[in-house]
Chains A and B, each alone.
Chain A
Amino acid sequence: MNLFWLILQFIFIGSLTFGGGLVAITFLFDVFVTGNIISEAFYLQMITIAESTPGPIAINLATYLGFSQFGMLGSVITTLSFILPSMLLIWTLYPLYRWRANSPYLQSLMIGLRVVVFGIILIAMVRMGLSFIEALTMTPIQTLSLSLLTLLFMPQMKNRPYILLMIGAVFGILFF
């Protein structure tokens, strides 16, 4: 485990996360949890933090993971390596796209890759779902009522999810 290896991993993941940052949850799980660098419980905590703070979830995860390994320097380096591929690609793609916006190849690549990537995103959801079920068996009434509460207020809080998260935190402190 060294810094150079970490940079390569993040560049690699950054160039593969088609269809948004959510799929990075699966990729990073493979590198860090399956690779025995951090524990699964810690990773789930990281996801909670990454989703509860402003900013794209992949950026938050990258920063957090980098920090956990190499401190401040690590967090800057992992985040930059993660965005580097997409940055370069967009700068080269953009002129190309303006030139051939209706190319059937670009269109079908986008639709098709989205379908494939969706399957990979589901993996992260299944893993989180297992922890959710665990919570459900340990504290069924509290978990269920908090889930319903979230579902109930979600439409009103569409642009202010942090209010929901604060409700979750207060609820947790009171009842868990």
Chain B
Amino acid sequence: MEFFQLGLITFGGGIAMLPVIKATALKHHWIEEKDWEEIVTLSQLAPGAIAVNCANLIGYRSLGLLGSLMAIFGMITPPMLIITLIALGFESILNLPLVLAALRGMFIVVFILLMKAIYTLGKLAWKQWWMIPISLLSFVLAYFNLLAPAGILLLSGLMILSLTWMKNRKHK
């Protein structure tokens, strides 16, 4: 199977790359159109890189556990090889002024691309106005080391679950 393709096409990964993954998966008939929404939802619900989760689920749908492993392997092997090669050669060429200049240019492009990714995420996350201060609160708590990010996630997870529980009780 050509899961390796997945690892090579997903620049930056994440939500921006989902359409590309979808097109590849449909082309190879690993999944059907109707499965896609479920896969996207679950990829985002679970922790970890969205693209890897997506590969995991696509593999699982088409070949079960073996498919999962193959898809994940295909997704992560090309990037790992490339990074390793870069890391091997990089330390030595890192001090060349030419490389430094190129990196500075690339950093600016990367920053703009990431801003775009953040913007997409923000539009997705902030469905209602009162959600904005909540994000800002978690930003402040984590930025000033008032609470470890893990603690923030755990607490907010518990709060969300209990709020949902209370809401459900009221409806009954």
Contact = CB atoms under 8 A, between A and B. Distances in A.
Given A49-B90, A116-B156, A154-B113, A85 B161 contact: no
A109 B107 contact: no
A79 B164 CA distance: 35
A90 B46 contact: yes
Contact of A126 (B68, B126, B143, B168): B143
Interface in B55-109: 56-57, 60, 65, 68, 72, 75-76, 78-80, 82-84, 86-87, 90, 94, 98, 101-109
Interface string B135-163: 11111101100000110110011011101
Contacts of A135: 104, 107-108
A6 interface: no
B106 A116 contact: no
A100 interface: no
A82 B10 CA distance: 18
Interface residues of B, number: 91
A56 B135 contact: no
A63 B13 CA distance: 15
A51 B113 contact: yes
B26 interface: no
Contacts of B127: 111
B63 to A, nearest CB: 13
**Dominant SS at the B interface?**
helix
B171 to A, nearest CB: 10
Contacts of A173: 98, 101-102, 105
A105 B84 contact: no
A54 B124 contact: no
A101 B140 CA distance: 33
Interface in A101-147: 101, 104-106, 108-123, 125-126, 128-129, 131-132, 135, 143, 146-147
Nearest to B16: A158
Nearest to A76: B80
A39 interface: no
A75 B87 CA distance: 10
Contacts of B167: 104
B149 A27 contact: yes
A109 B107 CA distance: 34
A153 B106 CA distance: 15
A61 B117 CA distance: 17
Contacts of B68: 87, 90-91
Given A75-B83, A114-B125, A172-B104, A19 B44 contact: yes
Contacts of B98: 173
Contacts of B45: 93, 97, 106, 109-110
Please provide the 8 A-B residue pairs with the shortest distance between their CB atoms, ordered closest to farther: A172-B105, A55-B79, A86-B48, A56-B13, A119-B138, A168-B109, A119-B139, A21-B49
15 contacts: A18-B153, A22-B117, A54-B7, A55-B83, A79-B76, A93-B45, A108-B160, A112-B159, A113-B160, A125-B118, A126-B143, A146-B109, A169-B105, A170-B105, A173-B101
Given A55-B82, A109-B45, A165-B106, 6 more contacts: A47-B110, A49-B83, A53-B79, A86-B52, A131-B107, A132-B107
